Amino acid sequence: MLHIKCPHCGMRSQNEFSYGGDASVKRPELNKEISDEEWDNFVYNRKSLRGKHLELWQHLSGCRQWIKVERDTATHEIFNTYKADEEIT
Amino acid sequence: MSQKFRLENGGLINRDKKLSFKFNGKSYYGYEGDTLASALIANGVHLVGRSFKYHRPRGFFGAGVDEPYAVVQLYRNNETEPNIKATEQELFEGLEAKSVNCWPSVNFDIGAINNFLKIFLPAGFYYKTFMWPKSFWYRVYEPFIRKAAGLGVASTKHDKERYEHKYEYCDLLIAGSGPSGLASAYAAAKNGARVILAEDKPRFGGSLLTSDVNIGNQSGEDWANSIISELKEMPNVIVKNRSQVFGYYDHNMLVMSEKVSDHLPKTKKHHPKQRLWYIRAKEVLISSGSIERPLVFGNNDTPGVMLSSAAKEYLKVYGVLVGKNPLVFTNNDSGYETAIEFKKNGVNPIILDSRVNPQSEIIDEAINLGIKIKFSHVVVAAQGYKKVSSADIAKISDDKKQLGTIENIKCDCICVSGFWTPTIHLASQSGNKTKFKEEIDAFVPGTSKQKETTLGAANGIFTLEETLKSSFTAGQDLSKKITNKDNKISFPNVVEKISSQHDKFWCVPLPKGKSYKRFLDFQNDVAVSDIEIALKEGYRSIEHVKRYTTLGMATDQGKTSNLNGLQLVSDIENKVVPAVGHTTFRPPYTPISIGAIVGREVGKHSKPTRKSPMHSWHEKNNAIFVDAGVWLRPRYYKQGSETLFEASKREAKNVRTNVGVCDVTTLGKIDIKGPDAAELLNRVYTNAWLKLPVGKARYGVMLREDGIVMDDGTTTRISENHYHMTTTTAQAANVLSHLEYYLQLVWPELNVNVVSTTEQWAGAAIAGPKSRKLLEKLFPNNDVSNEGLPFMGYMESDLFGVKARIFRISFSGELAYEVNVESNNGQFMWEKIIELGQEFQVQPYGTEALSTLRIEMGHVAGSELDGRTISYDTSLEGLISKKKDFIGKRSLNREAFTSSDRQKIVGVVPLDKKTSIPEGSHLVKDAQAPLPNKKLGHISASCWSVEHDNPFSLAILKDGKNMIGEKLFVMSPLKNKVIPVEIVSSHYVDPKGERVRS
C-alpha cells in the first residue's frame, strides 16, 4: 500500500485516495473548435509510461482535494506531491 | 502410553502440565510447551502423512516454518483447518489432528501404487498424458487427479471465529527475535525509538535457545530471556510472539499475522483467533535467520531423515530424541553440535562428514567426547519404508564423483546438514536485488531498496559475535537518526566456538546400477531426475523449470528445496548459481488463513449499512428491505400473506388512485453555493441553466466526456447563489467527485463550493392524485395550489414547527411532491404524513412499486443509464442545448452516436398480455433463427403495469425509433423463455405528461 503525502493533510495511506490518471492531460477549452484527433487524444489516448509519471489522485476519504503526484510507475517511488494549482518545478 | 522418546529432564516444556491429544484417532500425551510434532516424536510417531505425487510415507523434516512434510488436518473446538504444520502447531488439551493426502489410512495408502509406477510419473507427466481426448479432461482426468493429489480439506462451514485487522506505525520493525533481532531491538529501544519486535514462534530467542554459547556471564538462552523481559517493560516497545511478518510491501508497509488463539483449545471471549497487523515502519530490520539445507541422497525422504538443526531443537527445546541410534550426515560443523547434544544425553551418534580432513574446536570436542566420526563419507541411500532402519554409506573420492564400497549400518534416524540458507524473503520482497555469496553458497540481500537492513544469519553472517556487534550498531545508528538520542550500550563479551569451512558438496552421486529417488522438493515430490528431464526437454529459465516440475511450489514454498534445485540446474548447465538466478520471492512468506486476510469484513460487516431516519418506522410496519448500494430501502410493505408481486401492485395502484408516500432519503444530494454556481451547472448539464429563476427546479442530464450519460436528477435554485442538486442513489459519490474534479482542476476560476448533504436531509415523496389535498393538511399556512406551487416549483415552509423544503417534482408521473426536513426530524415528518394522510387512503410504497410507476411512465433510471447509453438512446436528446458547450458535447458527433439506426428506448408488451418478461432478455426478429441469433436489443426493466393490468417492459432497441408497432420475440435462454411481443412507445401511461402538471 502506497504512502502518499497529501499536500493539505500530510502522510496518508493509499486507501484514503482514489486514482485519477495522467495529470498532464489538459481539457480543451469550452466552445473551442478542435479537430477530432485532438478531442480523441483528450478523451481516450494515454501514454502508459514506465518511470516518472505525473498523475492525479483525490484525497477522497480526507480533505477531498484533487492533488498531483509524481510517481515512478515501475518502482512506486513518489518523488513529490503538489496541490492542484501548484506550480510544478 | 509412555513417551518413549522423551528425556527424563531438559527442554523448555512445562512437565507439570500433561496434555492429552489425538492423532489419527489414537490418544497420546504431551506437555505444555510442546508442538504437535514434538509430542508425536516423543511418542515414537514418525509416520504422519503421504507425499503429494507418489504417496510415499512422510515423517518430520524440520521443527518450524520450513517443514515440508508434516501438514495435518487440525480439529479445534468443532472447527477444522487444513494444512497446519505439525511443527508449528502448539499442543493444547484435547487437540485432534489427522493425516492428509492418504486413503484409506496413513499406514495403508492405495495411492502409494504411484510409488511403484514412478518411472511413469516423470516431470510434466500430467501435461503430457492427459491432453487427449479433450472431453476426458473434466470428466475423467481432472476428478481423478484432484482426488489423488492435494492436501487437507477446507471446511465448508461458516467460520464463527473472529479475525481482526490492526494498523500500527513504528520507528523500527524488527522481524525475528534471534540474537540479531534482540540486539538491534534493545539498542533502538534504549534510544527511545518506537520498536515492534516480532517472533513467529511462541518462544523468543531464535538460535540462542539451541546454541551452546555465552553472552556476558549468561548462557545464550538466559541472555535472551533477560533482554526480552526488559523490552517488555518499556513503553516504547511492542513485543509480539506467534507473529509472522510475512509480507514486505510498498513504502515500507509490512503485514504481520499474529496467531492470538490458535494455541488454545478455544478462543477466549472477546478475543480474536488471529490478528493481521498492517505496520508502516520508518526502518525495517530483517533478522529472520537462516534455514538449514538438506543433503541429497537416495531415499532421502524416508521418515527419520531430518535436518540436524531440527533434531537439536527437539532435544534442547522439547527434551525429545528423534532417534536412539542416530546417524549425522554433514558437510559442515553444524552437524557436530547436534551429535554432541545426543552424546550429552546418553545417545551414541555416528557422524559422516563429507569433508576430507576438517579441523576445528567443535570437531575436537566431538572427538574428545568419543563420538565416532567418518570423514570423506556419505550416506548413499536410506533404507526402510515407513521409518529409517539403516543406511547405505560409502567413502567418497576427493572430487566427490566416485563412491567406495557400500556398507550398510543400522540407524533409526539420519540428521542431515548441508549448511545454511539465509532467509532473504522479506528483503527480496522489498525490491532488494539479492547477490550470491560464494563463501556460503547462498544468496544474501544486496543494496537496500526500501528502508530495510538485513542482519545476522539472514545476511549470511554465521558467527554470534559479528552478528551481535553489527546488530547493536544497526539498532543504535538507525534509531539515533530518528530520535536524536545516543545511549551507548557496552558490548557484551561473547563465547562461541568457531567453525571451519563447509564443504561445497550437496548431492551424493548414484551408485552404479541403482536408481534411488533423490528428492529435492519433499512436499511436491520433485527428484533430481525430474529436473534432469526438464532440462533435457529444453527448459532453461529457472521460472519455467519451477513450473514444469513444481519445484518449490508447495505450501512450504521451497524453503528447504530452492537452493539445492538451483545448484542442480547450475551443475547440469555448467553455469554458476548466480547465472541461473533464483525464482521470485512473493508474499506471504508462510500460508496465511483467508479469515485473517478478510478480517471483520464478513457478512453484514463487509460494507457499511446505511439506514434512513425513518428506518425504524419501516421495520415496525412490516417493510421487507432491499440493498440499494450501501443503503437499506423498503422494497415493499407486507400486508398479511401478500407476495412481493401482490404488495407492489397494491402500493403502485394506490399511488395512481389515491396517494402514496415513499422514503427517498437515499437520493444523493449536493449543496452548491457561489456566484458561479449557475455557470457550473450550465457546463455540467446538457440543458440550459443560466436562466432558472429562484424557487424553481429543473431536470438535468449530465454526460461523461465520452458522451455517455453519467447521471440525471433535478436541481433547485434555493436562492440567488445557492442550488440543491439531487443525484441517483448509486451515482451520488461519483457525481460529487466529478464536480470537484472540474472545480479544482479544470475550471478553478469558477467561484463555487460543493458539499454532500445526502445525510443531512430526510426525504419523502408524496405522489398520487390526492397528494395536493394531503399537502394542504401538512402545510395549512401555505398556498400549495397549482398556481401557488406549480410543477417544478419550490417553497420553504414549516411542518408543525419543523423547517421543511417542498419540491414539486415527480418520478412516478403522478401529481407529486417531495418534502425534505433535517434528518433528525425525518421520523416526525413521516409519521405526520401517515397520520394526516389517513383520510386520503395514504399508503407507504417501496422501491418495487416505485420501479413499476417509473417504468410504465417511461422514466429512465440506472438500468437504462447503464454506462453504455447516450441521451438519444434514452430519449433525453431534447435536453441537449445547441447554444452552449458542456461536458461531453464534443463526443456527440461521433459516427456511432449519430447513425440513423441508433438504439433507442421503447416499450415492450407481450402479445398474450400475460407472460412476464425477464429483465436482461434479448430481443430478436426470428425466434427460430440458427445461432448466433442476431440480438436487436435487450430488456432493461420489467413491471406489471397497474394502469393497463398487463406486463410491460422497457428495452433499448436498435433503430427503436422506427420499430414502434413491430412484432418481435423476447428470448431468455437463462429462464428458457421465448415470448412474442409488440414494440410500443416507452411512455405507456399519460404520454402527454398531463398528470404531473394537474
Output the CA torsion B361→B362→B364→B365 (10° steps): 120
3-state secondary structure of B836: helix
Residues in chain B: 998
CATH of residue B776 = 3.30.1360.120
Query: Could you tell me if residue B447 is inside a domain?
Result: yes
Q: Which of B197-211, B466-480, B485-499 is predicted with the least confidence, judged by mean pLDDT?
A: B485-499
* B703 part of a folded domain: yes
State the average pLDDT over residues B31-49: 96
Residue B958 lies in a domain: yes
Same domain, B52 and B150: yes
Share of chain B above pLDDT 90, in %: 84
Residue B149 has pLDDT above 60, yes or no: no
Same domain for B798 and B720: no
The ipTM of this complex is 0.98
Q: What is the mean pLDDT of residues B529-536?
A: 91
Angle in degrees, CA B46, B48, B53, rounded to 5: 120
Closest CA to B424 of B454, B382, B452: B454
Helix or strand holding residue B716 (H, E): strand B709-719
Out of B123-127, B787-791, B908-912, pick the least confident.
Answer: B123-127
Domain annotation for chain A: domains and CATH numbers: 1-25+48-89 (3.30.2270.10)
Whether A31 has its CB under 8 Å from any CB of chain B: the answer is yes
- The predicted structure's pLDDT at residue B629: 86
Residues 6+ positions from B641 with CB-CB distance below 8 Å: none
Q: Is B250's CB within 8 Å of A13's CB? A: no
Residues B487-502: what's their mean pLDDT?
Answer: 91
Give contacts of A39 with chain B, Cβ < 8 Å. Answer: 890-891
Which uninterrupted H or E stretch holds B618?
helix B615-620
- B373: cell is 566420526
Contact B692, B700 (CB under 8 A): no
Measured in angstroms, the CA of A36 and the nearest CA of chain B are apart by 9
Same domain? For B133 and B248 the reply is no
Residues B13 and B70 in one domain: yes
Q: pLDDT value at position B335? A: 97
The alpha carbon dihedral of B10, B12, B18, B23 has a sign of negative
In the numeric block, which cell numbers belong to residue B299? 531415499
pLDDT-derived band at B934 (thresholds 50, 70, 90) equals: very high
Query: Looking at the domain assignment, is residue B631 inside a domain?
Result: no
Phi, psi (deg, nearest 5) at residue B800: 45, 50
- Scanning the structure block, which residue is given the C-alpha cell 521418515? B303
Query: What pLDDT does B554 receive?
Result: 78
Spatial distance between the Cα atoms of A3 and B704, rounded to a whole number of angstroms: 30
Q: B473 with B364, same domain?
A: no
- Which residue pairs, CB below 8 angstroms and at least 24 apart, start in B778-785? B778/B819, B778/B832, B778/B833, B778/B836, B779/B804, B779/B806, B782/B806, B784/B817
Q: What is the pLDDT of residues B869-896, one digit of tens each?
A: 999 999 999 999 999 999 999 999 999 9
Chain B residues whose CB is inside 8 A of the A43 CB are 705-706, 891
Q: Do B250 and A2 touch (CB under 8 A)?
A: yes
Note the pLDDT of residue B563.
87
Q: Name every residue whose Cβ is closer than 8 Å to that of residue A49 and which is 6 or more positions away in sequence.
A: A73
The C-alpha cell that represents B174 in the structure block: 524488527
The pLDDT of residue B244 is above 70? yes
- As a three-state string, the secondary structure of B646-667 is HHHHHHHHHHHHCCEEEECCCC
Tell me if chain B has a CB within 8 Å of the CB of A25: no
Angstroms from A14 CA to nearest CA on chain B = 10
Of B373, B308, B369, whose CA–CA distance to B344 is shortest?
Answer: B369
- Biggest CA-to-CA distance, chain A: 43
Residue B18 scores a pLDDT above 90? yes
- Determine the length of chain A: 89
Read off the pLDDT of each residue in A43-66 and give the average, rounded to a whole number.
Answer: 96
The DSSP line for B181-192 is HHHHHHHHHHTT
Residue B101 clears pLDDT 80, i.e. is over it = no
The span from the CA of B257 to the CA of B632, in Å, is 34
Tens of pLDDT, residues B275-327: 999 999 999 999 999 999 999 999 999 999 999 999 999 999 999 999 999 99
Q: Do A66 and B885 touch (CB under 8 A)?
A: no
8 Å CB contact of B741 and A20 = yes
Give the residue-averaged pLDDT of B23-39.
97
Q: Is the domain of B909 the same as that of B955?
A: yes
Contact B629, B727 (CB under 8 A): no
Query: Where in the sequence is the domain holding B560, given as residue range(s)?
Result: 518-583
pLDDT at B144 (0 to 100): 60
Joined together, the cell numbers standing for residue B567 give 545448484
Q: Check if A52 contacts B (Cβ < 8 Å).
A: no
- Distance from the Cα of A47 to chain B's closest Cα (Å) equals 18
> Is residue B953 a contact partner of residue B915, using CB atoms and an 8 Å limit?
no
Residue from B250, B252, B670 whose CB has the most chain A CBs within 10 Å, to mutate:
B250
Is it the case that residue B1 has pLDDT exceeding 60? no
Place of cell 511403484: B116
Mean predicted confidence (pLDDT) in B438-458: 95
Instruction: Examine the domain organization and report whether B383 and B363 are in the same domain.
Output: yes
Residue B878 lies in a domain: no
State phi, psi for B487 to the nearest 5 degrees.
-85, 110
Is B866 exposed, middle or buried, given 0-12, 13-18 or 19+ CB atoms closer than 10 A? middle
- Residue B956's domain is classified under what CATH number? 2.40.30.110
Chosen from A33, A37, A56, A64 to mutate, greatest number of chain B CBs within 10 A: A64
Instruction: Inspect the interface and report whether the beta carbons of A58 and B737 lie closer than 8 Å.
Output: yes
Same domain, B681 and B830: no
The pLDDT confidence band at residue B147, using thresholds 50, 70 and 90, is low
B555 and B672 assigned to the same domain: no
Chains A, B: CB pairs < 8 Å: 53
B495, HSE (Cβ side, Cα atoms, 13 Å): 10
Question: Whole-number mean pLDDT of chain A?
Answer: 95
Contact (CB<8Å) B431/A56: no
Regarding whether B135 and B2 lie in a shared domain, the answer is: yes
B375 domain-assigned: yes
User: Which residues sit opposite B610 in a β-bridge?
Assistant: B631
For residues B583 and B570, give the distance between their C-alpha atoms in angstroms, rounded to a whole number. Answer: 14
* Whether residue B352 has pLDDT greater than 90: yes
Confidence (pLDDT) at B543: 87
State chain B's maximal CA–CA distance in angstroms: 114
CA dist., res. B450 & res. B281, Å (int): 11
Sign of CA dihedral B387, B392, B395, B398: negative
Give B699's DSSP letter.
E
Tell me, what's the pLDDT at B118? 61
How sure is the predictor about B578, in pLDDT bands with cuts at 50, 70 and 90?
A: confident
Asked if the structure places residue B192 within a domain, the reply is yes
Residue B133 pLDDT class (50, 70, 90 cuts): low
- The pLDDT tens digits for B220-240 are 999 999 999 999 999 999 999
Q: What is the CATH number of the domain that holds B315?
A: 3.50.50.60
- In chain B, what residues touch A31 (CB-CB under 8 Å)? 884-885
**For residues B463-485, average pLDDT:** 97
Q: What is the CATH number of the domain that holds B106?
A: 3.10.20.440
The CATH number that applies at residue B719 is: 3.30.70.1400
Give residue B241's identity as a one-letter amino acid code: N
Q: What tens digit of pLDDT does each residue of B388-412 get?
A: 999 999 999 999 999 999 999 999 9
- Looking at the DSSP assignment, which residues form a beta bridge with residue B28? B21
Rounded Cα distance, B583 and B571, in Å: 17
Kindly report the number of other CB atoms within 10 A of residue B36's CB atom.
Answer: 26
Cell of A47: 501514454
Looking at the structure, tell me whether residues B180 and B241 fall in a common domain: yes
What is residue B575's predicted lDDT score, i.e. its pLDDT? 86
pLDDT for res B123? 66
Residues of B in contact with A78 (CB under 8 A): 251
Tell me whether residues A1 and B251 touch, CB distance under 8 A.
Answer: yes
- Quickly tell me which residue has 386520503 as its cell: B840
Average pLDDT, chain B: 93
Using a pLDDT cut of 70, give the percent of chain B over it.
Answer: 95
Domain count, chain B: 7
A44 touches chain B (CB under 8 A): yes
Q: Name residue, grid cell 526402510.
A: B384
Concatenating the DSSP letter of every residue in B373-405 gives EEETEEEEEEE-SSS--EEEEEEB-TTS--B--
Position B813 pLDDT exceeds 80 = yes
Asked if residues B957 and B906 have their Cβ atoms less than 8 Å apart, the reply is: yes
Q: To probe the interface with A, which of B890, B891, B892 has the most A CB atoms within 10 Å? A: B890
Residues of A in contact with B746 (CB under 8 A): 27
How far does the CA of residue A63 sit from the closest CA of chain B (Å)? 11
Is residue B103, in this structure, part of any structural domain at all? yes
- Residue among A18, A78, A84 whose CB faces B745 most closely: A84
Lowest-confidence pick of B259-273, B534-548, B724-738:
B534-548
**Residues B513, B19: Cα–Cα separation, whole Å:** 49
**Distance between first and last Cα of chain B:** 92
Do the chains contact at A42 and B705, CB–CB below 8 Å? Answer: yes
What pLDDT does residue B549 have? Answer: 86
**Residue B36 pLDDT greater than 60, yes or no:** yes
Q: Are residues B741 and B780 in the same domain?
A: no
Domain end point (choices B566, B583, B600): B583
Would you say B919 and B863 are in contact if contact means Cβ atoms under 8 Å apart? yes
Q: Quote the CA–CA distance of B846 and B652 in Å, as a whole number.
A: 9
**B interface residues, A as partner, C-beta within 8 Å:** 167, 249-253, 278, 280, 431, 683, 705-706, 737, 740-741, 744-746, 748, 884-886, 890-891
Residues of chain B with Cβ-Cβ distance to A75 below 8 Å are 431
Higher pLDDT, B104 or B266: B266
